[in-house]
A = this chain, B = another copy of it.
Amino acid sequence: MEGQTVQVEVSVRQQSGDASLLRRLNSAAILRILREAGVATLSELARAARVSRPTAEVIVDELVAEGWAEECDEEQGDRQRGRPAKRFRFRASAGHVAGVGIGAGTLRAMVADLNGTIVAAAEAPAYEAMTVPERLDAVAALVRGTAADAGLAVDRLAAVGVGTTGVVDGAGRVVKSVILPGWTGLDLQGELAGRLPAPVLVENDMRLAVLAEHWRGAAQGHDDVVYLFTGHRLGLGLLVGGRPHRGAHAASGEIGRQSGEHWQVFRHLVGYAMEVEPGELRSHQQAAEFAVERARAGDGRAVRAVRDFARNLGEGLVTLVNPLDPEMVVIGGSLARAGDLLVGPIQAHLDECCLYPPKVVASGLGSDCIALGAVRWALDHADHLLFS
């Protein structure tokens, strides 16, 4: 805070304006600085925003009056020499957002304040057999309940971010989905906005997952990231220049049903499981987890199967890493728990085949990942309103 300005890249429309624009700009700048600094005095804010102190004073008074900032009167230990300054703090509880992850078997929701601190979280079961309205109602009820846990009504939420599988277009319609029955063609944004009196933002789950990794996960500080989800299915989320990449048809990352063999990777694990226990019928995920477990226990064939699986993933990743040149590859999904068993061979393959091999890491976020990304997405929306 000593003199250097906090400079953040923000996309602003080329705008013209009258004097009130100046106030909006300065007010937004000071609010942003205040939030990033945590606690600051008027002088510090004025210096950082390159504004005179009287101006900073007027602006902070406004912010306090509107509830965006508050004075914190606790005395600081390290006193300076002169008259002690008032200290101000961003009032994170001035607004809240929710994030939701809609899975086939589980619904998760979180509510966070404007600092991104999670103040409530909940989950609810979902079932394959649910009709679409039942599922939508369950989502709405979960959001209402989670908000209530945080002491909030839904109409107090600045935004509700929603993550779902499938291709989601710019208007929040599910153009295509093969996981959730009846989901294809659904106007998810419209249906949820009808049930929840708050702005609803729908996005593809893989894009939210990579956003979560960038925010609180393994990819902090890295703006070009490939996120690979391995669990009951394969998924891909790309972060390009710090932002989730959507693509022309919002179908970026849809590698599931392509005909090449690079991404048809489960056969090794399913094959192994079938071989060891032919009677059991297993899903991809169950077979994979079974194989990983046995590999950990030291079963040579299982180790080989996992290694082949990892190698296949690595081959698929190479086709993407060389053209894209990301800083990092994050492995997420339930198989991320395999850790080095999976990451090691993938890293080795990338090291071998890439000019600039990115670092490969396993996600540590677990199953809250998508809801967390949805929170971040909703916060981005709220920030945009706050700092415009």
Residues of B within 8 A of A326 (CB): 247-248
Min C-beta distance of A127 to chain B, whole Å: 28
Check A29 against B7 for contact (C-beta < 8 Å).
Answer: no
Interface size class of A (residues with CB under 8 A): 35 or more
Verify if A335 is at the interface (C-beta below 8 Å from B).
no
Q: Which residue in B12, B22, B30 is a CB contact (below 8 Å) of A22?
A: B22
Min C-beta distance of A33 to chain B, whole Å: 9
**Complex: how many Å from CA A108 to CA B165?**
49
Q: Which residue in B10, B246, B358 is a CB contact (below 8 Å) of A248?
A: B358
Q: Take A251-B355, A322-B255 as given contacts and tell me if A22 and B17 are in contact as well, using a CB distance cutoff of 8 Å.
A: yes
Check A251 against B320 for contact (C-beta < 8 Å).
Answer: no
Residues of B within 8 A of A356 (CB): 248-249, 251
Quick one: CB contact mask for A13-57 with B, threshold 8 Å, 1 for yes?
A: 111111101100110111010000000000000000111000000
Please provide the 8 A-B residue pairs with the shortest distance between their CB atoms, ordered closest to farther.
A247-B325, A319-B319, A248-B327, A16-B29, A249-B356, A252-B325, A251-B325, A16-B26
Verify if A331 is at the interface (C-beta below 8 Å from B).
no
**Complex: how many Å from CA A322 to CA B249?**
11
Residues of B within 8 A of A257 (CB): 355
Q: Which residue in B249, B352, B358 is a CB contact (below 8 Å) of A325?
A: B249
Verify if A11 is at the interface (C-beta below 8 Å from B).
yes
Check A28 against B7 for contact (C-beta < 8 Å).
Answer: no
6 A–B contacts, CB within 8 A, in A order: A9-B11, A11-B12, A14-B29, A249-B325, A249-B356, A252-B324
Q: Which residue in B22, B28, B49, B176 is a CB contact (below 8 Å) of A19?
A: B22
Q: Which of A71-79, A92-100, A152-160, A234-242 contacts B (4 or more CB under 8 A)?
A: A234-242
**Complex: how many Å from CA A322 to CA B323?**
13
Check B262 against A323 for contact (C-beta < 8 Å).
Answer: no
Q: Which of A228-272 contact B (CB under 8 A)?
A: 236, 238, 240-241, 243, 245-255, 257-260, 262
Residues of B within 8 A of A253 (CB): 323, 325
**Complex: how many Å from CA A26 to CA B14?**
9
Q: Take A22-B22, A254-B322, A258-B353 as given contacts and tell me if A8 and B16 are in contact as well, using a CB distance cutoff of 8 Å.
A: no
Quick one: CB contact mask for A66-108 with B, threshold 8 Å, 1 for yes?
A: 0000000000000000000000000000000000000000000
Kindly report which residue of chain B lies nearest to residue A8, judged by CB atoms: B14
**Complex: how many Å from CA A8 to CA B13?**
6
Q: Which residue in B16, B26, B258, B387 is a CB contact (below 8 Å) of A322?
A: B258
Residues of B within 8 A of A354 (CB): 258
Which residues of A does B touch, CB under 8 Å?
Answer: 6-19, 21-22, 25-26, 28-30, 32, 49-51, 167, 176, 222-224, 236, 238, 240-241, 243, 245-255, 257-260, 262, 315-316, 318-320, 322-327, 352-356, 358, 387
Residues of B within 8 A of A322 (CB): 254-255, 258
Check A315 against B13 for contact (C-beta < 8 Å).
Answer: no
Residues of B within 8 A of A222 (CB): 248
**Complex: how many Å from CA A356 to CA B250?**
10
Min C-beta distance of A317 to chain B, whole Å: 10
Residues of B within 8 A of A258 (CB): 318, 322, 353-355
Residues of B within 8 A of A241 (CB): 240-241, 243, 245
Min C-beta distance of A295 to chain B, whole Å: 26
Kindly report which residue of chain B lies nearest to residue A32, judged by CB atoms: B14
Min C-beta distance of A223 to chain B, whole Å: 8
Q: Which residue in B236, B324, B353 is a CB contact (below 8 Å) of A260?
A: B353
